[in-house]
Amino acid sequence: MLDHWDWTSQEQNKSATLKTFETLVDLQEKIKLSHLLQVLSQ
């Protein structure tokens, strides 16, 4: 990490990235669950 970065904007970017990542993980989990339910219901 670079010391001369603007820490406030870096923190904002980090939290935005984290939110996006959490959303993607959440979507993946939902897809896995729905796929699992489809397999089980067959």
pLDDT in tens, 21-42: 999 999 999 999 999 999 999 8
pLDDT, position 13: 85
pLDDT, position 2: 58
Please return the burial class of 6, using the count of CB atoms within 10 Å of its CB with bins 0-12, 13-18 and 19+. Answer: exposed
Q: pTM of the predicted model, to two decimals?
A: 0.59
Q: Which amino acid type is present at position 37? A: L
Residues 6+ apart with CB under 8 A from 18: none
Q: Say how far residue 35 (Cα) sits from the centre of its chain.
A: 19
